[in-house]
Amino acid sequence: MTSQPQQARARFHWLGINALLTLAVVLSAVAVVGTSHKCRQSYARLQKLQSAQWDMQENWSRLLLQESALATHYRVEQAAEQRLQMRIPTAADIRLLLR
C-alpha cells in the first residue's frame, strides 16, 4: 500500500522524465536539421572546390601545352644557334681543372 504523498511524488517523477525525454527529442530533431544543413553546406563547398580544382587543372594543362610547344628541344636549339649565335664548345675550348 502506498500513501498519498508517495503516489504524488511518483507521478511527478514520471512527468519529469517525460519532459526531459521530450526535450531531448526536440533538441535532437533540431540538431538533425542543423547537421543536415551543415552537411549540405559542406557538400556545396566540396563541389565548389572540386570545380575550382577542375578549372585549375584546365588552366595548368593549357599552360603545359603552351610550354611544351614553346620549349621543345628543337625550338630551343634553333634559337640558341641562330638568334643567339651560341655553339657547343669544342674539346679545345674546354679547360679541365683537376683537383
Partner 1 sequence: MATIIALLFMLLLWRVVSLQVLDTDRGYEFLQGQGEARFVRTAVIPAYRGVISDRRGETLAVSTPVISLTANPQVLASSGQTARLARALKMKPAVLERRLERYQGRQFMYLKRHMAPADARAVLQLQFPGVRGEQEYQRYYPAGEIAAHLVGFTNVDDRGIEGLELAYDDWLRGSPGRKQVIKDLYGEVVRDIGELEPARSGKDLSLSIDLRLQYLAHRELQRAIALTGAESGSVVTIDIRTGEVLAMVNHPVYNPNNRKNLKPGQTRNRALVDNFEPGSTMKPLAVLAALESGLFTPQTLIDTSPGRIKVGRKVLLDPVNYGEIDLSKVVAKSSQVGIVKMTLQLDEQAVWQMFKQFGLGQSPGTGFPGEAAGLLPYRAKWLPIERVTLAYGYGLTATPLQLALAYSVLADRGLRHPASLLRLDADEVLTEQVVDPRLARQVLQMLEGATADTGTARRARVAGFRVAGKTGTAHKANHGGYADDRYLALFAGIAPVSNPRLVTVVLINEPQRNRYHGGEVAAPVFSRITAGALRLLNIAPDRRADAGAA
81 contacts 87 by C-beta, under 8 angstroms: yes
The stretch among 1-9, 11-19, 23-31, 58-66 that binds partner 1 (CB under 8 A) is: 58-66
86 contacts 80 by C-beta, under 8 angstroms: yes
What is the x/- site pattern for partner 1, positions 12-51, by CB under 8 A?
---------------------------x---x--xx----
Q: Which residues contact 2 (CB under 8 A, 6 or more apart)?
A: 10
16 contacts 24 by C-beta, under 8 angstroms: no
C-alpha cell at 56: 585549375
Question: Looking at beta carbons only, is 6 or 47 nearer to partner 1?
Answer: 47
Sign of the torsion angle spanned by Cα atoms 20, 22, 26, 31: positive
Of positions 32, 58, 79, 86, contacts partner 1 by CB under 8 A: 58
Question: Looking at beta carbons only, is 1 or 94 nearer to partner 1?
Answer: 94
Rule CB under 8 A: which residues touch partner 1? Answer: 39, 43, 46-47, 54, 57-58, 61, 64-65, 67-68, 72-74, 88, 90-91, 94, 96, 98
